[in-house]
Amino acid sequence: MPEILLHYIWEHCLWAGFEQKTTDGRTVEILSVGEHNHDAGPDYSHARVRIGGREWVGNIEIHVCSSDWQRHKHHLDKAYDTVILHVVRTADRPIYNSRGELVPQCELQYPSDQDYISGLFQAAQQMDSAVGRIGCAEQLLREPGLLTEGWRKTLLRKRFECKKASIERLLEITKGSWEHALYISLARNFGFHTNSVPFEELAIITPLSYLQKHRNNLFQLTALLMGQAGLITNNEVLAKEYDFLRTKFSLTPLDASVWKHARLRPQNSPELRICQFAQLMHQSEALLSKILDTENIKELVRLFELKSDTGIAPLGKSSINILLINTVLPYKYAYALKRNLTKQAEEVLAIMEQIAPENNTIIRQWRILGQRVNNAADTQALLHLYQNYCQHHECINCEVGYKIFQDRQLSFF
């Protein structure tokens, strides 16, 4: 069996209905298969599984045989220390991470009819090459208007409600501090998906109050953040400053292995993003207040334009747009609703129409299907539709899928 077939079975939940157990007999409940990682590191990130009644969030690695773990030298790679479950067809040996810890393994159970599985896989491969996993692709190609303007607006609002819920969870962690929660969210989005998790961890282990004490000194801010990231190399001056700050605040840095560098362009390297983040913290006093008080899109953009006299490469326009879409506007939306300012919340959604559309593989699939993609409001609505309905086969709960279902039912009469 090729490993890619196991990936397909895992990702498409073909294991559903089968009892899953670890090799030592503990029950495994798969709550979320995670996101497929196409860069270096474990196969799936942000997965959620319950093992023996205890819930875990982390990475999943998939192999045909357990021995592939050692053959690929994952037992020597710290990047695989975050693996919460090793999913295999055959468990032929126990495996350990670089810390010498035993990694839980599960021999994945799924339908035994190999012809059935292979047929599904081949069909999915053909579908993925054209329009991804959008179940109603053929109908939308014939009739793009099935996806109505009203459903788009509802999807955008649902998207922001999900972001609002994430902000509320952060507020619980930060004991109601909107400023501290914003800091963690900004850090996460400075990771620009590839390094979002380690960037968020960096912000959590480096409290905002520590940065604020040294806000006027860019060198100290850079040393503090780079040191906490575990990324100071060949810079004795920066290392010495970090050692002083580390002792002062009793800090423990991240392991450098958590950062991904593979397939990243230089402008997206974690080292540069951390330096840019330090610059933003340096030049931005009372950033939360400025964000909440600013309604003009051009003024919001200016808040994230890095000063050019530091030698640090500025944030590109698309990077600033991503920060506005994923952090700034969701915070304005959540804060407005917290104060029962419904009109202001709706105005935030309207600002999305002034931001350029995102460009990624999911959005390109929607373009193939003839869908209008004019601005960030469009892309956020379509992303939410794909990630929360199409990927989980929630067609009956989607306005488009339900209409197709109704039309098919009527055709029988």
Q: Are 164 and 334 in contact (CB under 8 A)?
A: yes
Give the bridge partners for 59, in sequence order: 83
Instruction: Note whether residue 349 is domain-resident.
Output: yes
At residue 253, the pLDDT reads 95
How many domains does the chain divide into?
Answer: 2
Residue range(s) defining the domain that contains residue 239: 177-354
Is the pLDDT score of 124 beyond 60? no
Summarised one tens digit per residue, pLDDT across range 154-186 is: 999 999 999 999 999 999 999 999 999 999 999
Summarised one tens digit per residue, pLDDT across range 398-409 is: 999 888 877 755
Summarised one tens digit per residue, pLDDT across range 295-333 is: 899 999 999 999 867 778 899 999 999 999 999 999 999
Instruction: Note whether residue 398 is domain-resident.
Output: no
Query: Rounded to whole angstroms, how far apart are CA atoms 222 and 121?
Result: 48
Query: Rounded to whole angstroms, how far apart are CA atoms 247 and 411?
Result: 73
Q: Are residues 345 and 197 part of one domain?
A: yes
Q: Are residues 341 and 196 part of one domain?
A: yes
At residue 266, the pLDDT reads 63
Q: Are residues 262 and 347 part of one domain?
A: yes
Alpha helices in 111-261 (DSSP H): 114-131, 137-142, 149-173, 178-190, 196-205, 208-213, 218-228, 236-249
N-term to C-term CA, the chain: 45
Summarised one tens digit per residue, pLDDT across range 224-282 is: 999 999 999 889 999 999 999 999 999 999 999 889 876 656 667 899 999 999 999 99
Summarised one tens digit per residue, pLDDT across range 344-360 is: 999 999 999 999 999 88
Residues 6+ apart with CB under 8 A from 49: 28, 29, 30, 31, 55, 56, 60, 84, 85
Instruction: Note whether residue 387 is domain-resident.
Output: no
Q: Are residues 326 and 260 part of one domain?
A: yes
At residue 394, the pLDDT reads 84
Calculate mean pLDDT across residues 194-215.
Answer: 94
Query: Rounded to whole angstroms, how far apart are CA atoms 60 and 82?
Result: 8
Query: Rounded to whole angstroms, how far apart are CA atoms 174 and 196?
Result: 19
Q: Are residues 197 and 118 part of one domain?
A: no
Q: Are residues 186 and 81 part of one domain?
A: no
Q: Are residues 208 and 60 part of one domain?
A: no
Q: Are residues 331 and 219 part of one domain?
A: yes
Q: Are residues 205 and 293 part of one domain?
A: yes
The residue among 330, 354, 378 that closes a domain is 354
Provide the percentage of residues in the chain whose pLDDT is more than 90.
68
Q: Are residues 205 and 312 part of one domain?
A: yes
DSSP string, 305-340: ---GGGSPPPPPHHHHHHHIIIIIHHHHHHHHHHTT
- Which stretch of 33-47, 74-88, 128-142, 253-267 has the lowest confidence by average pLDDT? 128-142
At residue 119, the pLDDT reads 62
Cβ-count burial 15-53 (b if 16+ within 10 Å, e if not): beeeebebbeeeebebeebbeebeeebbbbbebbbebee
The whole-model pTM stands at 0.70
DSSP string, 53-86: TEEEEEEEEEEEETHHHHHTTGGG-GGGGGEEEE
Q: Are 357 and 379 in contact (CB under 8 A)?
A: yes
Q: Are residues 313 and 190 part of one domain?
A: yes
Highest mean pLDDT among 33-42, 291-300, 386-395: 291-300
Is the pLDDT score of 131 beyond 50? no
Phi, psi of 244, deg, nearest 5 = -65, -45
At residue 246, the pLDDT reads 96
Q: Which residue has the higher pLDDT, 15 or 117?
A: 15
The residue among 332, 354, 376 that closes a domain is 354
Q: Are residues 207 and 318 part of one domain?
A: yes
Instruction: Note whether residue 140 is domain-resident.
Output: no
